[in-house]
Structure 1
Amino acid sequence: MRLRAWAERVLFGESLADKLWAPEAWVDEEPGAALGSVLAPGRPAGLELATTESLRLPPTEAWADPRVRGRLLHAFANHELLALELMALALLRFVDAPPGFRRGVAQTLSEEQRHLRAYLGRMRALGVELGEQPLGGFFWRAMAPMPSPLDFVAHMALTFEQANLDFARHHAAGMRAVGDEDTARILDEVHADEVGHVKLGLVWFERWRERGPSLFSAHRAALRAPLTLRRARGLGFDREGRRRAGLPAEYVEQLASFQASRGRLPVVHAFEPTAELSLGTRGAYTPPRAVRALTADLELLPAFGAHRDDVVLVSAAPSASHLGALGEAGLGVPEWVVVPGLDGPVPPEAVSHPRLAAVRPWGWGPRARARLSSLLPRSDLPAPPRSADAVLHAKTTWVGVRERLGGPLDEPWLDGPEDRGEVARALGEALAAVERLRARGHARVVIKAPHGTSGRGAERIDEAGPTPAQRGWLARTLAVQGAVVVEPWLRRVCDVSVRTTVDPSGEARVVDVGRFLTDPRGQYVGAVLGPLSRAVHPEVGRLLHDQGRDPERSARVFGALASGVGELVARHGYAGPVGIDGLVYRDRAGGLRLRPLVEVNVRPTLGHVAHGLGRRLAPGRAGLWVVFRLADLPAGCSAVEAVARARGALPLERGGNPPRLRQGAVPTTDPARAATVGTLLLVAERRAHALQALEHAMPTVAARVRRALHEPDAPA
């Protein structure tokens, strides 16, 4: 019998017997003309495709009822019927496809018929007949337009059949749990066949797809809306079945951690932390080796502040072990796209989405514009004008903003004018500003370059200073950048971070207010996750809430500040994340005060990352997020080994619905790739327990964190 005749009978037959009929032997001669559009397969009366998808699968607690199990198998039988009809359609449409491909589809069709027979027989034994419930047609509507064999294998084998690895395994276990071994064995057979189906689809997809993108990126690009890669996962996640099907570990772990929803345009994120540094340089800026290493080490961090539909650009793929650790902890990351190297423009084809919500570097600057300009024509949100970069990233821009805003920002519990800084544009002005601050009682002063990053681009002037070296730095900075900010060195108690987002109209939304940690030089150490009220000493909490008399007073201050900053950045054409750093300090009388604005970062910040991580914690748990230097690890201990020690000290525990992290030590950057720094999330019942785990793995890092927290070192 000709293969075409068999496929026609399966696709257009109007009886269940036609759908299940198969010849003893067939030949693929005279395949005929390619079949075009088919609105619906032939069906007998009562088995027509439903126009809506209203069926809900029964909950597991109801499976003890035989008819409930029968209704569950009814849904599976419908999927098998649709699958074999779609395979028949593929044989009739892709008549010029390679003979090996057509043989594989025909073999798969016969196996789908066997699955359907088994389901129908078991359904009858459980008292259910096909057609008792509506037969949804989503799979048909999603796949029937298939324009090519590559499209067919991308959707059928790599998406729907891959997901069935999870569904079949999950439901087989559930059937055994209620004592239905007969149904479980059928599902085991289906699972074993699906491994082969996925393997066959993978072989042809790899043969036909374009070289260059990763398998994950190519698969995602091949799917037609509304399908996303989320459809390639079912209930649970069968890593072993995917391994047996030949899917590479990198793909499997990325799929395991992938999250997607429908109808939202993606934002493309790129960790390009050179805006402030490049703007503070005369002429072209080339990142030094240390900055390049830092960029490579931390480039995945935007993923934790991103939406699940977004895209993160990386220079190298995270290791499968790292993706596995993230997935195990429930820290799903969005799609990542490898763009090798840290220089040069991103090829437009690297990002497959035809339309983007925004392109979001870690600050707009010369290098970010050069790298990402190829993506901007697809972005609904334009980049701010080039002329805005220097203004938005300059520390001088934000001096005096508080005074202009007034309102809640003038309240007496905040820093007074005597504790604020000023802008100087010449050497004499800067030295005079230092003397004015000393006259107000500030023995130590800090001078900041307009463009510099955390802990860099600043000089702390002690009582005897400035030294000749500091005068030289000051003169050079004024010559290149034209100004400096001169501020008192306050007695810091804790740092606070206001994480905001600003829309194009200038309206700012306070996403979160949290505590971050810095060392004595002002360099970032990490963050305390969770509400600010739980992250600070009770004395600080009483300041923020006026001894409990006015719980909203700090929120009013932060809200007014965010609104003013939002209006200013929007006037310069910027919309997106903004971080506002402040601090609580002791004044000369020993009392606590809040300085709500120390610096403004017009870009995503580590505070936004910390907020994203904090959302993954179970309620009431304590979390620390730590940035550690490899130089601070124990002698002979690699980042991989140190992280493993921390994980051993804090065994992973998730709970709740949806499951959230209750305990664990999770590397948020890849320790296997770390060259200079790494990051680690620690979650426990109490902060002290998290610190103990850090002490066990990285004693020097733990001491640094304790000092930033103003907590004593662990006893020897």
Structure 2
Amino acid sequence: MAIQLQEFAEQVLFGTSIEAKLSFPREEIIDTRPGDPIVTPRQLTRPQHLLLRDDGVRAKHPSQAKLVDEKERGKLLHFFGNHELLATELMALAILKFPDAPASFRRGLLETLKDEQIHTRLYMHRMEQCGVEFGELPLNDYFWKSVSSMEDPLDYVTRLSLTFEQANLDYSREYGKVFNTVGDSGTAKILNKIYQDEIEHVGFGLKWFRHWKASGKTDWEAYRERLVFPLSPARAKGNDFNAAGRLEAGLDQGFIQDLKIFQQSRGRTPNVLWFNPQAEQCAASNRVVAHPKVSQQLQSDLAFLPAYLSRQDDVLIMTQPPSAEFLRRIQDYGFHLPEIHVSARSADGGGERAPDLKRKLGELRPWAWSPDSRAFFEHCLPHVARPRAHDALWNESLRALYSKAWSAQWGQTFAADHHALDWVAPDSIYGHAVHNFEELTAARKHFAEGGYPHIVFKVPFATAAHGNRCLLADEALSPELCKWLETAWQQQSSVVVEPWLERVFDFSVQYEMSAEGLKHIGYARMVNNPRGQFQGILTNALCKGLAPKLVRFLMQREPEQGRPRVFHHFETSLAHKLEAALHAAQFRGPIGVDALLFRDHSGQLQIKSVVEINPRFTMGRVALELESHNAPRSVGYFQIMTRSQLRKTGSRDFKQWAAQLTSTHPVQVSARAQPQIRSGSFPLNDPTTAQQFLAVYHVRESIHDLLQEISQ
């Protein structure tokens, strides 16, 4: 006697006992009366103890470290068992929803359903041996909600076969290794069987996906277009990406590589990052301004840099995404990739704006808050989880923080409060804001009387050391310099005048200001030219390779302090005072303080606590993130190469130069779950599209080798 496929599917989907859902008939199953299509039930029928939770209550997923405990292993298998039971029910639903699907497809559904029943029973038996009863923990309904709304068989294979079952090619293999590691070979064997079955299941779905997908589309293009948010290709992979299993299932190399580098949040509300390095120009005019061509190229070339500041599931907005080859390399070096979106054009055609992401967002994290970033993110503000008022994103108090005049005045006040510390520079060496030639003459005389006859001029709103002018002792103001000063006064009302110091060590201190207060992030050792302009940053090498006298100065401790006095100075005294100023200005976000060691007019080492305060992300913050990817003993050098520097190498473009660089210094990565870079050099933005600027990271196992290379 035979049983109809429709009747069997109804038994599985609407059964009120676990036995009804997991029993496979001994009779022959035929498909001569497929019936009419059903509507997805509003609630899944299950025994009471196995009902899905839709109130947000979830069981805690055991960490891998806890799986040495058998009870914890049982809890993990409870998660797996629920997924297998849901797959069984979803396959039954597909049989009932799509009675007109090809007979061979429906027969394939039946075979995979049978496998899922077996998988569920294997997990139930093993979890009970571990002391966990199926149903004693809350059962999540995400899997059901994501797939049960399918409208046709193509939806089914896209969501279940090519998304959730494909992800299990990673999870089943990964956890099989974990269970072997903790000595549970029995569970490892179960996971290995499931892994082998999943290869067949993915292959089955892939066959029909290719049969039904839109013509003229690659598998990847059709797959991405078919998924509906919040489902995305990110759900089709686990932590331990298994390319070999996907090849065995029949997926092509292009699809596999595109999936590997694809990123989108799987649940965490993403922060959104954007690179706007010319914020000072907008701050100066207090409006959105058209940037010079070279500034536009800087923004375009280095738009990927915030990727190194992002966290898992964050979004990065760029004008043009990097090539897949570049992204794969960065991922292979141990960096996670953000979800990349392309910027849109403003409705009035006036410039770029953030794309419509159409989902809840975490924080908006531009390189800097200024008039251009506020305009860029204007229409995103309603989607932010904890929105801030427009005037909290940009106001006159925030604008003041960008001014070097404000930094000089704040640093002067701070130094005056710490005049008792003989190793901290006095307030008299801090700059003065001058508004005319008379005030300039007075400032010059003041510094000369204090032992500093050489001076430097800074415009208040400009990036570090750019636009600076120097004037030596007894040197007269040239007509060119007078014209420059008059233009600066006309455009920015003042010029900061400060003494030229004999600098011996440059560094920056990175902080993050939140509603909870100012958090110290770390220190970055800067490499600047004699004018104080940025050349690069050394990582994992704050004191390495320095003269012993400098190291003693930096590491000297006071009896009552646990930390060296210099670090204690920045992490307590300066941080507390700066926090109060930032709070008063309603500032939130990253902030960097440039500082330096110099020899005073008597030859003694002193520290200038504040050279400049940068209320934004800085290259020092990027360097700290790069440093976290160094192997423990390895040191790094982060630099930004310009087109003029490229010409000196003889290479025709950045692509050719980068290829030679990576060939000469191939990246060596440690064999760990989270790769760490031991040595090698590589570009940080895509060299195939870079026109004027290329960020590069060099890692070496010896500070002396690295310093020698830098000096050449």
TM-score tier (shorter): 0.7 to 0.9
Distance 1:572 1:523 in 2: 28
CA contact (8 A) 1:111 1:193 kept: no
Given residue 13 of structure 2, which amino acid in structure 1 is its aligned partner? Answer: L
SS at match of 1:456: coil
Matching residue of 1:197: 205
User: Match of 1:516?
Assistant: 526
The Cα offsets for residues 291-319 of structure 1, whole Å up to 9 and x where unpaired, read as: 11111111121222233243221112222
Provide the residue aligned with 1:385 in structure 2. Answer: 394
**CA–CA separation in structure 1 for the residues paired with 2:355 and 2:251:** 28
The residue number in structure 2 matching 1:489 is: 500
Residue matched to 1:567: 580
Aligned: 1:618 with 2:631 = yes
Cα drift, residue 219 of structure 1: 5.6
2:512 matched residue in structure 1: 501
Q: When the two structures are aligned, how many residues end up with a matched partner?
A: 673
**Conservation of the 8 A alpha-carbon contact between 1:445 and 1:460:** yes
Q: Confirm or deny: 8 A CA contact 1:259 1:333 kept in the other structure.
A: no
Q: Which residue of 1 aligns with 2:650?
A: 635
Where in structure 2 are the equivalents of 1:116-135 lying within 5 Å?
116=116, 134-135=133-134
Q: Residues 427-576 of structure 1: matches in 2 within 5 Å?
A: 427-463=437-473, 464-504=475-515, 507-530=517-540, 532-534=542-544, 536-546=546-556, 551-558=563-570, 559-576=572-589
Secondary structure (helix, strand or coil) at the match of 1:532 reads coil
Q: Deviations over 1:496-541 (max 9, x none)?
A: 1110111236x31211122122223433222111363447543222
Where do 1:408-423 residues align within 5 Å?
Answer: 408=418, 411-423=421-433
Q: Give the Cα–Cα distance (whole angstroms) in 2 for the partners of residues 54 and 528 of structure 1.
A: 41
1:135-172 deviations in Å (ceiling 9; x for gaps):
47877621223463278667534542221122355578
Relative to structure 1, the CA distance from residue 344 to residue 220 in structure 2 (aligned partners, 3 Å threshold; closer, same or farther) is farther
Asked if 1:316 is matched to 2:320, the reply is: yes
Q: Residue by residue, what CA displacement relative to the aligned partner does 1:547-578 show, whole Å, maximum 9, x if unpaired?
A: 78664311232132222222222212211111
Describe how 1:679-694 pairs up with structure 2 within 5 A: 679-690=695-706
Instruction: Find the counterpart in structure 2 of residue 9 from structure 1.
Output: 11
Whether contact under 8 Å (1:160, 1:231) holds in the other structure is yes
C-alpha change, 1:454 and 1:85, in structure 2 (3 Å) is same
Indicate the residue corresponding to 1:149 in structure 2. Answer: 150
**How far did residue 371 of structure 1 move?**
1.1
The offset of 1:460, in angstroms, is 2.0
Per-residue deviation, 1:388: 3.5
Structure 2 CA distance for partners of 1:60 and 1:582, relative to 1, 3 Å? closer
Q: 1:235 to 1:583 in 2, by over 3 A?
A: closer
Q: 2:406 is aligned with what amino acid?
A: T
Distance change >3 Å, CA 584–CA 691, structure 1 → 2:
closer
Out of 663, 670, 675, which is 1:654 matched to?
670
TM-score, normalising length: structure 1? 0.80
Structure 2 counterparts to residues 94-133 of structure 1, below 5 A: 106=106, 109-116=109-116
Closer, same or farther: CA 105–422 of 1 in aligned 2, 3 Å: farther
Give 1:413 shift: 0.8
Structure 1's 3 and 594: CA in aligned 2 closer, same or farther, altered over 3 A? same
Counterpart of 1:398 (choices 407, 418, 426) is: 407
Cα distance change of structure 1 residues 652 and 205 upon mapping to structure 2, 3 Å threshold: farther
Name the CA shift for 1:472/1:233 in 2 (closer, same or farther; >3 Å): same
Give 3-state SS (helix, strand or coil) of 1:399's partner: helix
Residue identity matched to 2:165? E
User: 1:186/1:135 Cα in 2 relative to 1: closer, same or farther (>3 Å)?
Assistant: same
Number of the residue aligned with 2:300: 296
Give distance in 2, aligned partners of 1:187 and 1:495: 54
* AA aligned opposite 1:496: F
The Cα shift of 1:579 comes to 0.7
Counterparts in 2 of 1:18 and 1:556: CA distance versus 1, 3 Å = closer
Match of 1:696 in 2: none
> Which residue of 16, 37, 41 maps to 2:42?
37
Distance in 2, matches of 1:103 and 1:132, equals: 42
Structure 1 position 237, deviation (Å) = 0.8
Contact 1:86 1:140 in 2 (8 A): no
Give the match's secondary structure for 1:280: helix
User: Quick check: 2:80–2:123 contact (8 Å CA) kept in 1?
Assistant: no
Q: Is the 8 A contact 1:504 1:574 kept in 2?
A: no
Range 281-290 or range 440-449, more displaced? 281-290
Distance in 1, matches of 2:168 and 2:405, equals: 58
Q: CA separation in 2, counterparts of 1:366 and 1:70?
A: 55
CA distance, structure 2, for counterparts of residue 547 and residue 129 of structure 1: 59
- C-alpha distance in 1, partners of 2:393/2:73? 58
Change (3 A) 1:307 1:673: same
Q: Is 1:590 aligned to residue 611 of structure 2? A: no
Tell me the SS of whatever aligns to 1:604.
Answer: coil
Cα deviation, 1:51-70, whole Å, max 9, x if unaligned, reads 975786999999xx9xx999
Structure 1 range deviating more: 418-427 or 445-454: 418-427
Change (3 A) 1:458 1:359: same
Deviation at 1:202, TM superposition (A): 8.9
Q: Distance in 2 between matches of 1:480 and 1:117?
A: 75
Alpha-carbon distance, 1:272 to partner = 0.9
* Amino-acid identity (%): 26
The answer to whether the 8 A contact 1:346-1:374 is kept is no
Gaps of 5+ in 2: none
User: After superposition, what is the alpha-carbon deviation per residue over 1:7-53, rounded to whole angstroms, capped at 9, x for unaligned?
Assistant: 3122234436865359655368542441322244469xx99989975
Structure 1 position 397, deviation (Å): 1.2
1:128 and 1:308 map into 2 onto residues whose CA distance is 31
Partners in 1 of 2:75 and 2:28 — Cα distance?
Answer: 30
Q: Secondary structure at the match of 1:681?
A: strand
Whichever residue aligns with residue 359 of structure 2, its letter is H
1:388 to 1:631, Cα distance in 2 relative to 1, 3 A: same
CA distance in 1, matches of 2:425, 2:369: 31
Alignment of 1:65-76 (within 5 A): none
Partners of 1:202 and 1:445 lie apart in 2 by 71
Q: Report if aligned partners of 1:545, 1:552 keep a CA contact under 8 Å in 2.
A: yes
SS at match of 2:593: strand
Q: Could you list the per-position Cα deviations for residues 246-304 of structure 1 after superposition, in whole angstroms to 9, with x for gaps in the alignment?
A: 6746742433xx59686x54322111112112333598621111111111111121222
- Whether contact under 8 Å (1:584, 1:595) holds in the other structure is yes
User: What is the match of residue 698 of structure 1?
Assistant: none
Q: Which residue of 1 aligns with 2:591?
A: 578
**Cα separation, partners in 2 of 1:159 and 1:5, compared to 1, 3 Å:** same
Taking the aligned partners of 1:265 and 1:493, their CA distance within structure 2 comes to 44
- 1:387 deviates by 2.9
The aligned counterpart of 1:163 is 167
Does structure 1 residue 369 correspond to structure 2 residue 377?
no
Change (3 A) 1:283 1:312: closer
Contact persistence 1:422–1:487 (CA under 8 A): yes
Q: Deviations over 1:453-497 (max 9, x none)?
A: 123232222342432212111100100110110011211212111
Kept in 2, the 8 Å contact 1:301–1:669? The answer is yes
- Aligned residues: CA RMSD: 4.5
Alignment partner of 2:685 out of 650, 669, 691? 669
Q: In structure 1, what residue type is equivalent to 2:690?
A: A
* Matching residue's letter, 1:424: V
Shift of 1:610: 1.3
